[in-house]
Structure 1
Amino acid sequence: MEVPREQSNNIRIRNKTVTKDLREYLLTSTLHGLRYIGEKKLTWFERFFWLIAFSCSLICAGFFILNVYAKWRMSPMIVSINPEDMPLNKLPFPALTICNVNQAKKSVAERYVAYGDPVDKKLLESLCSTQNDADLFEDEIADTADWDHTRTFLIKVTQPCEEMLTKCMWNSKTMNCYDLFNAQLTDEGLCCTFNVVHRDMMFRNPKDLNDMNITFPSPAVDWTPETGYPHNSPPDGFPWKPKGVGTDHGLTLILDANIPEYYCASTKSVGFKILLHNPTETPKIAKLGEIYGPGIEARW
């Protein structure tokens, strides 16, 4: 039976539309391989190869999914949470890391700019720039900027903990901030950290780190989230345990942002980046730290 001409034209137009939509989907799909199937610049053999490869990947995925589904049907597994009460004397107080968003003290940075050597100027530029260090340092300068020189530079140019921490109270008792906090290098520069596990118990080769000097007011304890405190650990072992619930039994700090000394900051505001973290974790201040401006009171 002969198809009318008008109906035949409609069928051809519909087929062209479907073909066009299919090609557009293939070219814009995020599924790997489909774009090459709809690419006109490729030969028919190449397009056929990608079609076979994509079909094989679908078959393999379906095969593994069916195997997992059959295994689940034979032995279904139900995951549930079994909460267990944990007394406060079994848990450590959270570790706290504080960083001034100011990367360099203005008085020190201006002195480096005026009288510093090329290495210090490059280190200051790297500290205040968002560019990659490899793009900033020249070969002859990079060779002289060893770790000892860089560490000394960071200690001199950043705000020290004794200037940032003007008052520290632990369990409602005023204590020396120098005994509670240790300088630590993070992804935000030189920061101050409280209640962390000693690095000798966190890393396999702590002497190779060549980090800052660490002081503890109490004996260091090898606490881990899996095993907790050792049975022979002293009651005042570091990391410390909370003495109770509420602000009276926690840590109280008064911080000084030293705004007149701002030279370049890691953010567009002034203040601090603060992070509460596990005592056994290395703080990731740049991504996880919360920003707190000066002149406010914050509680956790």
Structure 2
Amino acid sequence: METNLSSADESGMEHINNNVCIDLTTKNHAKSLSTSSRLVKTLTCTYQEYCQQSSIHGVQYLGEKQRPIKERVFWLSVFVVSIYCCARLINSAYTKWDATPVIVSFAERSTPVWNIPFPAVTICSETKRVLKKSGDHNSYASLYNQFTDAMHATKIFKPQNITAKEMEEFRTLLHVCNTQIIEQDMPLIPGEDIDYYDILKRMLPPFERYFFYCRWLSRYNECDKYFHQTLTEEGICYTFNGLRPSQIYRENTYQYHNSAGENITNSSWSLEMGYEPSSDVDTFPARVLSAGARSGIFMALQSFKQEVDYACRGPVQGFKVFVLLHAPDDVPQVSKQFVRIPMGREVLIAIKPNMITTSTGIAEYHPQRRQCFLSHERLLRFFKIYSEANCQLECLANFTLNKCGCVKFSMPRTLDMPVCSEEKIHCYDRAERDLLVHEFQYVRMLNVAGDELPKGAESACNCLPACTSLVYNTEISQANFDLEEMLAAEGDTDFMREYPGSQMSRLSIYFKESQFITSKRSELYGITEFLANCGGIFGLFMGFSILSMVELLYHFTLRFGVNLKHLFKVDS
């Protein structure tokens, strides 16, 4: 039965008639079409309407029936080339956004030195033990020679006329003296397991004997309250202004257990948050208010000629100061980077801080994309505080445990973790090099294979830098310091009688400038910049915008449905 179209429908069809779909209004023609033909006709109609009304450049030429085929092919080619160029450039923009979303740039304002703590200074004397009697030096050198002879003969080391206490000290010194001579097939040293930390403390020279004089912030001989003993790979050293082991290590570690009874000063500082707003000038970790030697630490370091042990530490004697004077929450690794303080010298160390802070925007990125860890993202097994140095030390301890079945006495460990004895010295020394080789091979495979790494290939450490970091760079100058000539000029004859064989050095550490420029990790290419770049590329090549996309969706969804509805209504 034939029905009349409503006035609204007729109005809509009249709009179509006035454009491109004239043949669809003829009822007889429309009724003669099959369903598939009607769909094709409606799609063609909608396409031509879109081409006529689109805001995208060049599209209107593709839908004109009267346009010669050569012109339409030309504009189609131009349109395809434009799309290709857009795709290439947007892919390049996406790669940049994905690979390098973060940039490290200078902060807008300088930072005063009182916003950061004075660096932690770890000082290690090359003298590892105090000689108890005359001839004691020769007895230890004789033991060392006997051990070397036994090592080359691959026999059991059984020295004569030595007490159990002296044997414990000799076994401990093997771990902190020159270990380069230790071979894989070393002689077996009979004896029970010992606590190397306790033996080192027993042999440790008195603090006031070697740290002869100290001045901190124009206050004399108060430095000892800022120093504490630190277990390092070279024995027990003294750290100034560093956090205590119980503040750095977790409760289940050997280091925490040994320092649990210490009188701990609560820290008012953290690397990410800085000092608390309410903290006063005198705080912990300590800080200074200005630059210059008067606002730093000054020390006179003393050793004695008769206590120099060349069999243990070799021809170079004096003190080691951990270079890059570490942040208070870092564990010092003295054997890797240090400034040597020779005897008879005055050494001045001017500090230039290098601090990197973090903007809030980069927290949304994955650590591998921004190439750093926030403090809560990488939890360590032995440490409360994440830093790249702490992570690497923990990684070395785990790697050594897997390779040797034990760890070096100075490595972070749990209470039940075995400690390597003397026959494992070569193994844990070798483990450090093997770890470096493993990490190098992993990085090399990552650069070659990209994301498709071979099965089983993985990093042993995954120690990215901390997003917020603090490093103290140094400028060092030296001059001669002749103690005997100075005492002779002053007419002081009592000092050398009280301290026979004394040889002295002076050390001064201070900030070079009162202000420094910090760096800041921030977004180089965020989602806003990426979308703006894509919009600029589309606009340049095609005149495309968000409204152009809405227009495209409108014509091939809502408009297409309306046209199809009108075409099928002619049957009713």
TM-score by length of 2: 0.36
Cα drift, residue 261 of structure 1: 0.4
Tell me what 2:173 maps to.
124
- Of 217, 221, 229, 1:171 maps to 217
Q: Which amino acid aligns with 2:317?
A: V
SS in 1 for 2:117: coil
Contact 2:232 2:333 in 1 (8 A): yes
- Of 93, 117, 121, 2:118 maps to 93
Tell me what 1:71 maps to.
94
User: Are 1:274 and 2:321 counterparts?
Assistant: yes
Tell me what 2:227 maps to.
181
- Of 206, 224, 229, 1:160 maps to 206
Contact 1:195 1:279 in 2 (8 A): yes
Contact 1:179 1:215 in 2 (8 A): no
User: Are 1:247 and 2:271 counterparts?
Assistant: no
- Of 246, 252, 267, 1:221 maps to 267
Cα drift, residue 170 of structure 1: 0.6
User: Are 1:197 and 2:243 counterparts?
Assistant: yes
Cα drift, residue 294 of structure 1: 0.9
Cα drift, residue 164 of structure 1: 1.3
Count of residue pairs the alignment pairs up: 228
Cα drift, residue 200 of structure 1: 3.0
SS in 2 for 1:248: helix
Tell me the distance in 1 between the aligned counterparts of 2:131 and 2:288.
38
SS in 1 for 2:345: coil
SS in 1 for 2:269: coil
Tell me what 2:343 maps to.
294
Tell me what 1:285 maps to.
334
Tell me what 1:59 maps to.
none
Cα drift, residue 296 of structure 1: 1.1
Q: Provide structure 1 residue ranges, at least 5 long, that are not aligned to the other structure.
A: 1-67
Contact 2:216 2:222 in 1 (8 A): no
- Of 82, 107, 112, 2:106 maps to 82
1:46-91 alpha-carbon deviations (Å, 9 max, x no partner)? xxxxxxxxxxxxxxxxxxxxxx967336777573503242222211
Cα drift, residue 119 of structure 1: 3.2
Contact 2:267 2:284 in 1 (8 A): yes
Tell me the distance in 1 between the aligned counterparts of 2:302 and 2:106.
44
Cα drift, residue 121 of structure 1: 3.3
Contact 1:97 1:194 in 2 (8 A): yes
Cα drift, residue 190 of structure 1: 1.2
Q: 1:290 to 1:265 in 2, by over 3 A?
A: farther
Contact 1:183 1:214 in 2 (8 A): no
Q: 1:132 to 1:295 in 2, by over 3 A?
A: same
Q: Which amino acid aligns with 2:282?
A: D
Contact 1:168 1:251 in 2 (8 A): yes
Tell me the distance in 2 between the aligned counterparts of 1:256 and 1:232.
39
Q: 1:70 to 1:139 in 2, by over 3 A?
A: farther
Contact 1:95 1:195 in 2 (8 A): yes
Tell me the distance in 2 between the aligned counterparts of 1:170 and 1:69.
56
Structure (1 or 2) with the larger CA radius of gyration: 2
Q: Which amino acid aligns with 1:269?
A: V
Tell me what 1:104 maps to.
129
Cα drift, residue 238 of structure 1: 1.3
Q: Percent identity?
A: 23
Q: 1:265 to 1:232 in 2, by over 3 A?
A: farther
Cα drift, residue 127 of structure 1: 3.6
Tell me what 1:61 maps to.
none
TM-score by length of 1: 0.64
Tell me the distance in 1 between the aligned counterparts of 2:268 and 2:252.
14
Q: Which amino acid aligns with 1:221?
A: S
Tell me the distance in 2 between the aligned counterparts of 1:201 and 1:299.
30
SS in 1 for 2:344: coil
Cα drift, residue 251 of structure 1: 0.5
Tell me the distance in 2 between the aligned counterparts of 1:158 and 1:133.
27
Higher relative contact order (CA 8 A, sep 6+): 2
Tell me the distance in 1 between the aligned counterparts of 2:274 and 2:97.
38
Greater mean alpha carbon deviation, residues 72-81 or residues 280-289: 72-81
Q: 1:167 to 1:136 in 2, by over 3 A?
A: farther
Q: 1:94 to 1:157 in 2, by over 3 A?
A: same
Tell me the distance in 2 between the aligned counterparts of 1:224 and 1:254.
31
Q: 1:196 to 1:159 in 2, by over 3 A?
A: same
Q: Which amino acid aligns with 2:319?
A: F
Contact 1:181 1:192 in 2 (8 A): yes
1:221-275 alpha-carbon deviations (Å, 9 max, x no partner)? 1422211123344432211011321001110100002232012443531111112
